[in-house]
């Protein structure tokens, strides 16, 4: 029996581009959550070389391989439940009532976090092609600390 993951790597909006800096920033993760707009199946394959991956389908993931990705996913990390979806605006459940501790989303390309009703919402930002003047980033979530610790890693590109 292996220990449940406590170091969670968060990535989103790769749009077919997985930068070496993103892989390096996620190294050491025990689980990686990809919040959609993956772009190419090779991205998930390469992330799986670092850790198990849970990925959801984003609005640009229309290819045949991407149809196999769910629109939402649940990740269990010990006593904690994480809900993953691409666009937080499409959230159609009450995460607190459903027992979730963390909601991970992407879509906006803007890294950020906030708390509502004791649920932590995290957007790791976009790790793919730069859009507008937004940073290129991933995030690391540490579940060993309460409150959970989130570190945003802006990638040098």
What does the pLDDT look like over 61-104, one tens digit per residue?
A: 999 999 999 999 999 998 999 999 999 999 999 999 999 999 99
pLDDT at 110: 96
pTM equals: 0.96
pLDDT at 132: 83
3-state secondary structure the chain: CCCCCCEEEEECCCCCCCCHHHHHHHCCCCEEEECCCCCCHHHHHHHHCCCCEEECCCCCCCCHHHHHCCCEEEEEECCEEEEEECCHHHCCCCCCCCCCCEEECCCCCCCEEEEECCEEEEECCECCCCCCCCCEEEEEEECCCCCCEEEEEECCC
The CATH number fitting domain 7-154, selected from 3.60.21.10, 3.40.50.150, 3.40.50.1220, 1.10.10.10:
3.60.21.10
* pLDDT reading at 3 higher than 80: no
């Amino acid at each position: 029996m292996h220990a449940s993951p406590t170091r969670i790597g968060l990535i989103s909006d790769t749009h077919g581009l997985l930068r070496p800096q993103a892989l390096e920033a996620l190294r050491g993760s025990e689980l990686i959550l990809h919040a959609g707009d993956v772009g190419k199946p090779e991205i998930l394959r390469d992330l799986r070389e670092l850790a198990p991956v849970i990925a959801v389908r984003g609005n640009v993931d229309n290819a045949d391989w991407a149809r196999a990705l769910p629109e939402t996913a649940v990740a269990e990390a010990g006593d904690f439940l994480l809900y993953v979806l691409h666009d937080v605006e499409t959230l159609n459940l009450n995460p607190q009532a459903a027992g979730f501790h963390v909601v991970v989303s992407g879509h906006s390309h803007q890294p950020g976090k906030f708390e509502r009703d004791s649920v932590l919402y995290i957007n790791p930002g976009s790790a793919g092609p730069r859009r507008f003047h937004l940073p290129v980033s991933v995030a690391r979530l540490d579940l060993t600390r309460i409150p959970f610790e989130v570190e945003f890693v802006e990638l040098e590109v």
